[in-house]
Chains A and B, each alone.
Chain A
């Protein structure tokens, strides 16, 4: 089974070589047969990669220590779920997951792309094939997960205990679906550049892909943030860690792409800009992969340190980013620009959004790469952390967030700011009220907190205003209003949900940062501590044994108004195989807020250091992310119902062929 997986991987590489060359030649020569090779090869390549991945996962699940990667990253005593998720909890396996998703998306284009112009489809698949070939080669040459050991060791070295968590089952797959999803947008852009023309259907195709990728990336980042929050035991949800930034940059650029693709789809404007953004977004995804996988960073995530790999990925990076940008420079002038619009219009608002988002991406890029560049040149190590990003990223985001509610209320081509402002009066009043209440009535609220809460309420109320205006609240009879509401396109709900989610996330961040409290103290069994109106009694430390760890579990009784209100436990775990100690934080969700505690070192007399946090509204940070995802899903659902969308396109397209004798 293991060797079958290895062989399937090699075969998939061979197919990716065919996929990158044959359709490309076919498209240039206008040869239908050569172009037709792309589809079946992409689908078969995916099937083989899936077989390969299954073989590796089986080896992990069955603790087959004759596979070097299993031996290095697994242990027979791990619970089955962590044995399986351990498949991608290491460099080799995660790269295999990467190409699995890449070939999966390629296969989707092949299967659902029948309504694409043949040459465009051929070129897109060829570019996908190039990316695939590069990464297959990378895997086979430097990170082969199927290297065998003979004789096989009897026991593995265990998975990094921090990764022995359900987060590993969710976070990397989501993140990769996001990263790699943008590869399709990239392939479409490069294909358009190769052809020297942008088909009208181009934007129709790129937009849903952007939505899919953006949705997964949003989920991946939110999930990663929550994982770090509860697993690392520091109580923080975002550290401006380079690895986090690596996933955040494609998200910012992808958000810009999402918005510019709307303009392109609806108005055929901003074509060249959208193309460039698609290239940049995927380039940032590649950069993210490089930063994490090459080991140039030393952080929580950096579990790969092999210079050969780093150089290889750097070559891939240079080849794809440099190549696509060169192509862009050569061909962009040949592309025709599209529709016209006034500066104050929906299009104009989206351009402004793009301007802010790309600038923000640039600041994050500088903050992430500057320390690396400095270290490479002078050897000095500096860390660029929260203060830098607060001063650069923050001021860029504030105006952007302030104008978000205006966008959806402006008309296409020529908008009326005054009319939009009037409609937003209620939302503005609400935001102002929230700001005043926060500033005046909550103890210890700073100006920042008041402004932040006001801005968050402004976003939420603004998003809802859009929905209200479009369904005609206040201007038509309630029955008409309901009918209109039900008849709104799904994409309108998508926009509302996404912007609403943004507001919720902001509210969560402001709430936690401004009103959160923290205590660090040494507790003995029986002692109580109070934090923001919650009383906790330390019951004691209890030793326990897990499948592959031992732990000292600290039990705390939550006391509300004199009555016991359940237990919170936090543990210090010791994993003997890796000789690693991890902290399992204890979290109790009360409404939207959380009580968070984690254990420090224990003393000899039964006392233990306890860190306690009260985190008001903290769940909104990730809840907002989920709402954003729901918005993207809603928009996607909309696409399928329209003429011109992939699944319904086939018949109308055929009809169009027979009806138009061009």
Chain B
């Protein structure tokens, strides 16, 4: 609204700049000849000065004086011929009208075609200071980054940011974040497995020695960690030890809970090892490689839509298999990241309800949500 007021004022000002001179009276304008005469007089006096300084010889000065004199004379005869009275003509009136109309028409017409009047300015500082609930994923991440740049020893912050980086496919940042979280908040199977995943994805899905070390560290803390087991088997497959990989995956299938999200990933991996060439490195519980690639080529709106579809899918899965701790936490985080604070709160409520308000999981959920800035509704 303010913009349109400003635009109208500017247009008015510009139109007045055209209109006022047209409406104003004609001042006593001097003929061109008067200006010339002034210059010639000045040239004469300058000639005297030059002569006094010896810049021109007296003989030549006389010649020059005569030249200037002749020009003044010529000016007199021309001047009379060129004096003409201003005559208002139809063309002039037409031109004046067209000019006054052109300013608003051209400017509003062109701006209508080119401008984005509804889009406010978005200086970065302002974007980072507004209510988190209205922020986009990128803005939230940037804000977290700014917070961590100021408090680099906030282990919890790194811990929260790391999986988000993974999801946003900023793998090198995820590696740094996981390393910092491990350094500051200590080892945990989830963190080590996440680190391994980040390293592997940063290398295009190849389970390198570094990644392998991280996964092994995760298994030392929690031998049943599905992610670490899955990726280690993947590493075997990548080394060409297909049989060992298949065996490891088979073993996983035996140990996994029937409703585990890893189940389908493992089955798919098994199927792919069976029919070469096997696709290397596939993040199991994330979008598949094709989807990731597609996402990179998408417009920001489309990408947002895709993320939202994925989150909705997760929500549906949890409605069917509600006893999935990690799933709930991922869902809450996703909603926070998407800027949907209400739905995050709702998810937290449902998660607590599934496990019972007094359960250990419920406390964990509440703490986790609080770290993301979400509090349960009473």
The reply to whether the CB of A36 lies closer than 8 angstroms to some CB of chain B is yes
Task: Give the contact-size bracket for chain A.
Answer: 35 or more
A212 CB to closest chain B CB (Å) equals 20
Q: Is B18 an interface residue (CB 8 A)?
A: yes
Asked if A644 is an interface residue, CB under 8 A from chain B, the answer is yes
Q: Considering the chains assembled together, what is the distance between the CA atoms of A656 and B75 in angstroms?
A: 14
Contacts A3-B115, A3-B116, A267-B64; is A13 near B106 (CB within 8 Å)?
yes
**Which positions 254-313 of chain B face chain A at CB distance < 8 Å?**
300-301, 304
Chain A neighbourhood of B67, CB < 8 A = 268, 339-340
Chain B min CB distance to A469 (Å): 9
Q: Are A36 and B14 neighbours in the complex by a CB distance under 8 Å? A: no
- The reply to whether A63 and B99 contact each other, CB–CB distance below 8 Å, is no
The reply to whether A412 and B84 form a contact with Cβ atoms under 8 Å apart is: no
| B150: Cβ under 8 A from any A Cβ | no
Using A17-B106, A656-B34 as known contacts, say yes or no to A3 and B119 having CB atoms under 8 A apart. Answer: yes
Q: Does B327 contact A (CB under 8 A)?
A: no
Closest beta carbon of chain A to B98's beta carbon, Å: 8
- Does residue B129 face the partner (Cβ distance < 8 Å to A)? no
Partner of B14, one of A2, A34, A44, A76: A44
Which residues does chain A contribute within 8 Å of B1, judged by CB atoms? none
Q: Write the chain B residue with the least CB distance to A154.
A: B138
A59: chain B residues within 8 A (beta carbon): 121, 123
Contact of B55 with A by CB under 8 A: yes
In the docked arrangement, what's the CA distance between A151 and B300, Å? 7
- Is there an interface contact between A37 and B7, defined as CB atoms closer than 8 Å? no
- Smallest distance from the beta carbon of A27 to chain B beta carbons, Å? 11
Segment touching A, from B19-27, B154-162, B213-221, B344-352: B19-27
List of B residues within 8 angstroms of A7 by Cβ: 3, 6-7, 10, 107, 111, 115
Residues of B within 8 A of A148 (CB): 116, 119
B60 at the A interface (CB under 8 A): yes
Of B38-46, B194-202, B237-245, B329-337, the segment with at least 4 beta carbons within 8 Å of chain A is B38-46
Given A340-B67, A653-B34, verify A29-B111 contact (CB < 8 Å): no
For residue A15, which residue of chain B has the nearest CB?
B14
- CB within 8 Å of B: which of A60-80? 62-66, 76
**Cross-chain contact A657 with B119 (CB below 8 angstroms):** no
We find that the number of chain B residues with CB closer than 8 angstroms to chain A is 88
Q: Judge whether A322 is part of the interface by a CB distance below 8 angstroms.
A: no
What mask results when residues 103 to 117 of chain B are scored 1 for a CB within 8 Å of chain A, else 0?
A: 111110011001111
B22 pairs with A657, CB closer than 8 A = no
Do B36 and A199 have beta carbons less than 8 Å apart? yes
In the assembled complex, which residues on chain A have CB atoms less than 8 Å from the CB atom of B30? 117-118, 653, 657
Shortest Cβ gap from A412 to chain B (Å): 4
Q: Which residues of A contact B45 (CB under 8 A)?
A: 643
> With A4-B6, A18-B102, A151-B136 in contact, is A30–B84 under 8 Å at CB?
yes
A-B pairs with CB below 8 Å: how many? 255
Q: Looking at the assembled complex, report how far the CB atom of A258 sits from the nearest CB atom of chain B, in whole angstroms.
A: 19
Q: Does A155 contact B (CB under 8 A)?
A: yes
Closest Cβ of chain B to A83, distance in Å, is 10
Q: Which residues of B contact A115 (CB under 8 A)?
A: 35
* Cα distance A29–B53 in the bound complex, in angstroms: 46
Interface contact A412-B50, CB-CB below 8 Å: yes
List the B side residues contacting A197 at CB < 8 Å.
32
**Chain A hits for B54, CB < 8 A:** 411
- List B contacts of A63 (CB < 8 A): 123-125
B122, A66: Cβ atoms under 8 Å? Answer: yes
List the B residue with the shortest CB-CB distance to A471. B53
Q: What residue in chain B is nearest A269 (Cβ atoms)? A: B67
| Stretch among B88-96, B358-366, B369-377 lining the A interface | B88-96
Q: How far is the CA of A346 from the CA of B124 in the complex (A)?
A: 62
Q: What is the distance, in angstroms, from A9's C-beta to the closest C-beta of chain B?
A: 9
- Give A62 to B120 CA distance when docked, in angstroms: 13
B223 interface hit (Cβ, 8 Å)? no
CB neighbours (8 Å) of B35 from chain A are 115-117, 199-201, 653
- CB–CB B64/A43 < 8 A: no
Neighbour of A33 across the interface among B13, B24, B37, CB < 8 A: B24
Q: Bound complex: CA of A643 vs CA of B36, how far in Å?
A: 13
Q: Inside 8 A of B29's CB, which chain A residues have their CB?
A: 32, 118
Q: Are B124 and A120 in contact (CB under 8 A)?
A: no
Closest 3 CB pairs of A and B: A62-B123, A154-B138, A117-B32
Instruction: For the A-B complex with A6-B115, A37-B22, A44-B17 known, give 4 more contacts whose Cβ atoms are closer than 8 Å.
Output: A14-B110, A34-B92, A40-B20, A643-B42
12 interchain pairs, CB-CB under 8 A: A7-B7, A8-B10, A21-B99, A32-B86, A37-B21, A65-B122, A346-B55, A412-B50, A470-B53, A642-B46, A656-B41, A660-B34
